[in-house]
Structure 1
């Protein structure tokens, strides 16, 4: 379980294909604090640390993960948002995030609002996931508040701090981002569908 508050960014150092899986070796500021078998969110996707070697660590993305996320598009040098799992003795600054990417979206528009940024993201039509104004959404592992909501798109406002200290600053029109929709909204949606069948 995560909060969507990015701790730091890491850099992809090596990419190794292993049958249908991919091993990623990354470097990050807190590598020395990691442990084998620890859960770590990468752009919002929970991956398990399987090896630590000095300043680098390795994680493996299986085929299903690669199909649902943007991890397959990573290259050497890609900057990745990182968050260690939630500790229950601290404050919940973002919202409850599972680290299970629901689907990807496409960056449609980036507007500079004199210091802050307004980003519009579209996604394939679905009746499973939805957004609401002032609701929560996770984009590349970042807990954000929905500013505007459409049937297959939404917009978020990014403050300068988030822009500077995450990989948001690297986004370009057409980029693919990982999306995790609010868990409460997903449960409500499923319950409503179930009741409709009764």
Structure 2
């Protein structure tokens, strides 16, 4: 069956970033060791709550103040929180070319602060037909329901739909929901794998 829609993840697909670098920045900002900051963030479900949209942008700042001892104001926090993305020109080129001939979408675990920043800095959000964003639907990859929400948005059958992500667990979740999934390993490999699906 022909492919009728392609969903792109954002982080480390369309935009490159390093969790280690982000942790180092936050650790420096709160005066703690990066390992301690990482342990606190993941044990305390901070990232999970943020990406499910359970807290507002202002409350994200509040969480870092109350739970990690961050002392900067909200404006400074926004810069710290958002200023670490770099466009992946290869995947952007693939998305741009695909968008000219078929519906493309975003499917990402993210938050309002990041999305506002991304929309103000990059053009790719304007190229896609729509987006499933974790903080808006209150679901996170690799939950089955988030892929079902994606299919509802694109109005395509699972076998007509491709999902591209950098993490194998998210690709596995998409495959369980019946979608074709490609783990992103660079634009050259992505083009080859899309071509194999007739895209």
TM above 0.5, yes or no, is no
- Structure with the greater relative contact order (CA < 8 A, sep ≥ 6): 1 or 2? 2
Normalized against structure 1, the TM-score is what? Answer: 0.30
| The structure with more strand, counted as a fraction of residues | 1
Q: Which has the higher helix share?
A: 2
TM-score by length of 2: 0.30
